[in-house]
Structure formats: structure tokens, C-alpha cells
Amino acid sequence: MSRVYAIANQKGGVGKTTTAVNLSASLGYFEEKVLLVDLDPQGNATTGSGVNKQEVEWSGVDVLLGEVSLEDALQHPAEVGYDLLAANGDLTAAEVELMAVDDRLLQLRKILDTVADKYKYILIDCPPTLNILTLNAFVAADGVIVPLQCEYYALEGLTALMDTMERVQESYNPELELQGIVRTMYDSRNRLSVEVSQQLISHFGDKVYDSVIPRNVTLAEAPSYGRPILYYAPSSRGAYAYADLAAEILEREERELKSLRVKK
Ligand SMILES: Nc1ncnc2c1ncn2[C@@H]1O[C@H](COP(=O)(O)OP(=O)(O)OP(=O)(O)O)[C@@H](O)[C@H]1O
Ligand SMILES: [Mg+2]
């Protein structure tokens, strides 16, 4: 069975796509089979994986609307360490057309179930809104990973995100949990960053990952070369940071599994 994580925050430009691409690559590197689902019509995770979003034959919209199977639509980009379901602007059509479907929030879950035995991890890069696509991701997911930039308004937006997650938990997916919050573009010399980070920890405790992603220009450059940082600049700070985060996620899961075994 795969573990499915939605990478979400309705605030724009906080590092969702950078986290989705680089965490996928790092988990893939640790020999875990990974699928990255680009669920954002901006298609940034697609471009960042070296796939031309205008030239893909099949993308998320075709799969969501039942025109092709997920397996037939998948891309297998070279040197990224994961498989990809691509996205482009056509995905906005899925938002509209899904409205007419009865089980409109269950579509992605049904689709991902078809490959659950093939991938250890499925990561979903969500758009910067709490729309029907993001709701599909929450219904399909075991957990939500929230990238957060430690700025003044950062915590405010989290309330709406948590409320939405709660509603999905109550109505569709009781298993859904906040997997963790990852601090992105972090600058330890900035007083506000440190303060917001402290508030975050006092409120969310160990839901805040110990691994911190620093502001690192190489991370911003890598997408224009269509490669995750692990392959573009393996010895950069950004590459180490995402490798650390992947290792922390794997360790946490190992610990959770052990405590489940003990309880049994
Ligand atoms: N740790 C980092 N250091 C430096 N630049 C970064 C870092 N993380 C992300 N960026 C840059 O910040 C911008 C926004 O990042 P990204 O696209 O990952 O955010 P997003 O949350 O996916 O945005 P959107 O809401 O539009 O989908 C990009 O230009 C990206 O390259
Ligand atoms: Mg994005």
C-alpha cells in the first residue's frame, strides 16, 4: 500500500512545488518507489521535472475525467527518481467538469487506488487554493504536509487550512492527518523568522519537522534545468536539506509503525 501525502498551503509561493519535487526525488533516492502527482494547472512540478507541459499527450485532466488510465498517462522523466502525472492549464477544465460528477471529491482517490501496490509514496502538489482539486487531494491522502514560510501572516492562513482538513476528515476521510509542517526559505538571521518559528512550535509541537529548508538560490535555479536539486547540485545546502527532510519522514514512519506493533 502506498502512503499518500498532499503538499498543501493555500498561500501562494511558499515552497509547495519545490518541496513536492525535491522530497519526491529524495524519497526516490532512498530506493522508495515514488509517484509525484502535479495537481496544479500552473504545471510547475511538471516543468521542474524536465517535462514540457505543453507537449504531454495525457495529463491529470484526462485521468480525472476518465479518458485514460493513470498508468497510461504516467511520465517517466530521466534523472528525477520518480514517476510523474503531469499537469498544465487544461486542468482548470477538470475543476469545472468535476462539478457535474456525483462522486466529485472521490475521483483522485479512486485513481490512485489503481497504483497503490506499485508505489511506496505518492506525493500530490496542490494548487494555492482550497478548491475542488485540493479537496480531491485531501480525500485521497493519508496526510498533509504543509510548507510554511515563517512570515508575519503565515499562521493566519493555517486556520483555514486546518478547518478544511477537519471537514474532509468528518465527511470523507477520517484517516486524514496533519503529517507535518516544514519551514521553507528559512533565514535564521531574520528575527521575525525565528519568532514565527517559535510560535509555530509552541502551537503545533512535534508536528513541525526538525529539518528546516534554508533560503538557497540553487533551489530556485534547479527548476529551470528541469531537475530536482539532488541531481542538479547534489552537494548544495538545499539538496542536503531535502535529503534530511526525507530521512526524517522515513524515520517518523518507522517509529509510528513500531509503536503500532507494540500496542498490538
Ligand atoms: N528554499 C528556497 N530557497 C530559495 N528559493 C526558493 C526556495 N523554495 C522555493 N523557492 C522559490 O520560491 C518561489 C516559490 O516557490 P514554489 O513554486 O515552490 O512555491 P509554491 O507554494 O508551489 O507556489 P504556488 O503557490 O504558486 O504554487 C519559486 O521561485 C521557487 O524557486
Ligand atoms: Mg506550486
Contact assessment for residue 121 and residue 250, using Cβ atoms and an 8 Å cutoff: no
Pick the CATH number of 3-263 from 3.40.1390.20, 3.30.930.10, 3.30.40.10, 3.40.50.300: 3.40.50.300
Task: Determine the atom of ligand 1 nearest the C-alpha atom of 40.
Answer: 27
Q: Give the residue, by CA position, lying nearest to ligand 1 atom 25.
A: 12
Distance of alpha carbon 255 from alpha carbon 264, whole angstroms: 14
Structure confidence at residue 153 (pLDDT): 85
pLDDT exceeds 90 at position 260: no
DSSP structure string for 87-134: --TTHHHHHHHHTTSTTTTTHHHHHHHTTTTT-SEEEEE--SS-SHHH
Residues 6 or more apart from 155 whose CB is under 8 A from it?
Answer: 196, 199, 200, 203
Dist. CA 49–CA 25, nearest whole Å:
10
Give the residues across from 148 on adjacent strands: 183
Cβ partners under 8 Å of residue 164, min gap 6: 130, 134, 135, 138
- Among 127, 114, 197, 123, smallest CA distance to 155 is for 197
What confidence score (pLDDT) does residue 200 get?
Answer: 95
Residue 37, strand partner residues:
85, 124
If you average pLDDT over residues 173-200, what whole number do you get? 95
Query: Which residue CA neighbors atom 9 of ligand 1 most closely?
Result: 15
Average pLDDT over residues 218-223: 97
* pLDDT at residue 49 in the model: 98
φ, ψ dihedrals at 219, nearest 5°: -65, -35
For ligand 2, the distance from its centroid to the CA atom of residue 147, given in whole angstroms, is 11
Residue 14 CA, ligand 2 centroid: distance in Å: 8
pLDDT for res 152 = 84
For residue 262, is pLDDT > 90?
A: no
Mean pLDDT, all residues of the chain: 94
Burial class from Cβ neighbours inside 10 Å (0-12, 13-18, 19+) for residue 194 reads middle
Mean pLDDT within 205-224: 97
pLDDT, mean of residues 224-234: 97
- Which residues form ligand 1's pocket by a CB distance below 6 Å? 12-18, 40, 42, 44, 128, 184-185, 213, 215-216, 219-220, 223
For 236-256, what is each residue's pLDDT tens digit?
A: 999 999 999 999 999 998 888
For 14, residues 6+ apart whose C-beta sits below 8 A from its C-beta are 147, 148, 149, 154, 184, 185
Assigned C-alpha cell, 17: 512545488
pLDDT for the residue numbered 102? 86
pLDDT digits (tens, 9 = 90+) for 71-114: 999 999 999 999 999 999 999 988 889 888 889 999 999 999 99
Q: Return the pLDDT at 264.
A: 63
User: 220 CA to middle of ligand 1, Å?
Assistant: 7
pTM of the model: 0.97
Per-residue pLDDT tens over the stretch 124-163: 999 999 999 999 999 999 999 999 999 988 888 899 999 9
Q: Which ligand is nearest to the CA of 229?
A: 1
